[in-house]
Every structure is written in structure tokens, then in C-alpha cells.
Structure 1
Amino acid sequence: MGVSARRGTPLTVEEIRATALRLIDAGGVESLSMRKLAAELDVNPMSLYHHVANKTELIKGICLETVVPLLHLPPADGAPWQDQLRALAYAYRRLARTHPALWTYVHNHPDVIELKEGGLWEVLLRILPAAGVPEDKRLGTADVLHGFVWGLLLAESLGHIGGDQAEANFEIAIDLITRGLPEH
């Protein structure tokens, strides 16, 4: 890890990701370039490539190594599956609201990251057996639940539903899921 003549301190992948996420939050993924990121970090753009292969790999790293660990996913602590599913849905919603540009980009660019990669999906697949979902239906059920919550969050982010009632509407959706899930 070299030290930039301009900055005087070593560059780290964590600093690169944190700075890139801040720039994404401010202007969207499309506005992020390796040159802008390098300027923000006060390094030569080529210095970034010692830590990340390209922008796509940087975004994937931000998702899996920076954002997902901050989600406060429900632990396997024996809590009722309904409480765990509710906590998971709210963690996903916080992600969508805290980093909307990144959330939207990842969903519109499945080549960047497999949505079934990472902690959210693993926790969902851990919860479904407790909800009584048979093994042969778990992946399909997980896909449908993700699509349902994703669609709700997309509609909320576009202003189609929610407004002052966003919290209440989200709670209604989670209640519908938890009441209907055991029957499938």
C-alpha cells in the first residue's frame, strides 16, 4: 500500500468504499467516476486500481462489505419468525431509504451483484422454515417476498404510495405477509 505524495497517508479499500458511497449518496451511481473518486481522496486515479479492479467491483464491494454489515439483520435467537421477518423487512427498507441511489442501481443492474448474495437473503432463507414453508417452496417464496417488498419500496420511493402514511402502509404490508405466509 503506497503513500500518495499529495495526501501523505496510505489509501485503504475501506476509505475508498466509504468515500465512493458518500459520492453515490450525493449524486447517484452514474455520477461516480474513478476520476471523481480519486480527486475526492486526493490521489492519482491509478492508485485506486491497486485496491479495486473497476467501478463494478467497487460497487459490489460497497454493497457486500460496507452496507450489508450495517443492516442490523435479525439474529437466529429463537424469536418468533414473524418478528424476525418484520425486522428483516425493516432492515431492507432502511437500506433503501438510507442509500436510495445504490439500492435502485443494484436492482436495475443485476450484473453488478447477485441479489441473492449476502446477508439479507441468507436470513430470509433461515426464517422461512420457521414459518412453515416447505423446503421445495423456499426459494420461490423468497423470490416472491423479495419482489413484494421491493415493489412496495419502489412505489414508496417514487411517491406512488406512502407520504404521511408510509410507515402505516409498510406495516400493513408486513402484516399481510406474516398472516399469509404460513398458508403457503
Structure 2
Amino acid sequence: MTGTEETARRAPLNRDRVLRAAVVLADAEGIESLSMRRLAQELGVVPMALYKHVANKEQLLDGMVDVVVGGIDLPVGGQDGEGGDGGDWQAAVRHRILSARRALLRHRWAARVIESRTGPTPALLEYLDATIATFRAGGFSADLTHHAMHALGSRLLGYSQELFDTSGSDTAPPDPRLAARYPHLAEMAGAAHDVASVVGGGCDDQFEFEFALDLLLEGFERLRCRGWSSAARQERS
């Protein structure tokens, strides 16, 4: 153990140090390996010392989520809600969501832990509130903002559940029998995995994420300009 590591282990224990050590441990060994005993060992303390700062593992996980979400950048300019009526809300929301994506890619366990929470943590509430403020300052009604937040779903936090599993080999030839039975799926798969395509030979997760995000943001802007409301839409139904 180096002198720096020894000094760090002897530093006074506090909640922030416990949470950040847990994040580092989950990054290195996986969230499944995280336990109060393992974390105490990493910090060089007895497990009971941790309970002065986090009541249990669920509270530990809540705090870890807040550490990750707290690392998400503010919108360009550093002020939430900038833009004014018709201002550049789109760039601000896009910047924030792509920052969230970078944060979750650095901590690949975080999305699963966020989904496992029984309610939003304080940092998550602040993040959502700031995002809503950006929409509202950009000229969105509360009604349209509500539906925009629903449409974005988990993309607000930088991830989405994909319909297709693209983890297999990109170079494996398609099964001719399946291609004959499902010709349109085969055609789409061939186009998506064409080495001459923009994303190259295989699905580019970042490209696909940004493609969908931009479609949504541009659609929201069109609705905002039209003065869309859910009440008017229901009247036409």
C-alpha cells in the first residue's frame, strides 16, 4: 500500500467518502459484488462504522445514485431554465441528456440501480425539476412539458431499452430461412449492418440514441410552435 492510499484509508469517515468509495467499488467489481462488509474492507473500517453514515444497503444505493446524477453537467451556459420563450431550450436539454448518458456509461451499473429504487432520490428530483424548468423557460406549457417528459422516458437519464439485441456478432450471415419468412426484418438488418452505412458494420448505440433524441426534441418544438394541448387533441379524437 502506498503512502497516499494509507493516508486516504485513515482520513475521517463521512457520508460523502462512503458513497464515493462505493461508486468506485461498483465500477471496479460490479454492483453484485458490493456489500457493506466489502465496502468496509475497502475503507479499512469495521462494517458497523458504515452504519453511522448509511442506515442500510438501500440507503447506500440511493446515495450512490445521487453521486452519479450529481456528476451530470448543467446545460450550456451553466444556468437551468435559460432560453426564454422560443430560446435554445433544445440545445440545453440535449446537452443535459447526453451528459447524463456519459455519466451512466462511466457507471454501467447505475441504470439498473436507478430502476430498482422505490422512489426518486433527491439528486434525481433536482435533475427532473431542472429539466422541466428548461422546457418551461423555452416556452412550453405545463401540459406539453408533462407529455414531453413522458415521451422521453428513460432517455432523460441517458439510456433506453432497445427492442433488438445487437450484442451478437455483426459479421454472422443471416439465416436464409428466417430471411425468407421475415423479408422486411432481413432487409432492415442488412441496411443497418452495411459497412458502407454511416454507423458502419453494426448498430452504433450512441448514433441510435442521438437519432431518437433529436427526433423527439424536434417534434416537441413543432408542437410548441403550434400551441399544442392535450385537451385540443382529445377534442379531435
TM-score, normalised by the number of residues in structure 2? 0.63
Code of the aligned partner of 2:134: I
More displaced stretch, 120-129 vs 7-16: 7-16
Q: CA 1:48 to 1:105, structure 2 compared with 1: closer, same or farther past 3 Å?
A: same
Q: Partners of 2:142 and 2:209 in 1: how far apart? A: 27
Cα deviation digits, residues 43-70 of structure 1 (max 9, x gap):
1100101111111111112222x22222
Tell me, yes or no, if the aligned pair for 1:96 and 1:153 is still in contact at 8 Å: no
Q: Partners of 1:19 and 1:151 in 2: how far apart? A: 23
Is 2:46 the partner of 1:44?
A: yes
- Residue equivalent to 1:135: 142
Please, which of 21, 24, 45 is the counterpart of residue 23 of structure 2?
Answer: 21
Q: Partners of 1:133 and 1:24 in 2: how far apart? A: 39
Equivalence map 1:154-169=2 (5 Å): 154-155=161-162, 159=166, 165-169=204-208
- Residue equivalent to 2:124: 117
Code of the aligned partner of 2:99: A
Please, which of 139, 158, 179 is the counterpart of residue 218 of structure 2?
Answer: 179
- Residue equivalent to 1:4: none
Code of the aligned partner of 1:70: G
Cα deviation digits, residues 92-134 of structure 1 (max 9, x gap):
2112211111222221x13164599333212221122245432
Tell me, yes or no, if the aligned pair for 2:154 and 2:160 is still in contact at 8 Å: no
Cα deviation digits, residues 9-33 of structure 1 (max 9, x gap):
4212121111100111123323211
Q: Partners of 1:115 and 1:11 in 2: how far apart? A: 22
Code of the aligned partner of 1:87: H
Equivalence map 1:74-93=2 (5 Å): 74=75, 75-76=79-80, 77-78=82-83, 80-93=88-101
- What RMSD, in angstroms, separates the aligned Cα atoms of the two structures? 2.9
**Structure 1 unpaired stretches of 5+:** 1-6
Please, which of 103, 110, 135 is the counterpart of residue 95 of structure 1?
Answer: 103
Cα deviation digits, residues 63-101 of structure 1 (max 9, x gap):
22x222221121234360110111121022112211111
Q: Partners of 2:70 and 2:124 in 1: how far apart? A: 13
**Structure 2 unpaired stretches of 5+:** 1-8, 168-191, 193-198, 229-237
Offset at residue 145 of structure 1 (A):
1.1
- Identical counterparts, % of pairs: 30
Q: CA 1:82 to 1:49, structure 2 compared with 1: closer, same or farther past 3 Å?
A: same
Aligned pairs, number: 175
Q: CA 1:49 to 1:43, structure 2 compared with 1: closer, same or farther past 3 Å?
A: same
- Residue equivalent to 2:14: 12
Q: Partners of 1:112 and 1:26 in 2: how far apart? A: 26
Q: Partners of 1:115 and 1:9 in 2: how far apart? A: 27
Tell me, yes or no, if the aligned pair for 2:98 and 2:158 is still in contact at 8 Å: no
Q: Partners of 1:31 and 1:149 in 2: how far apart? A: 28
Q: Partners of 2:119 and 2:149 in 1: how far apart? A: 20
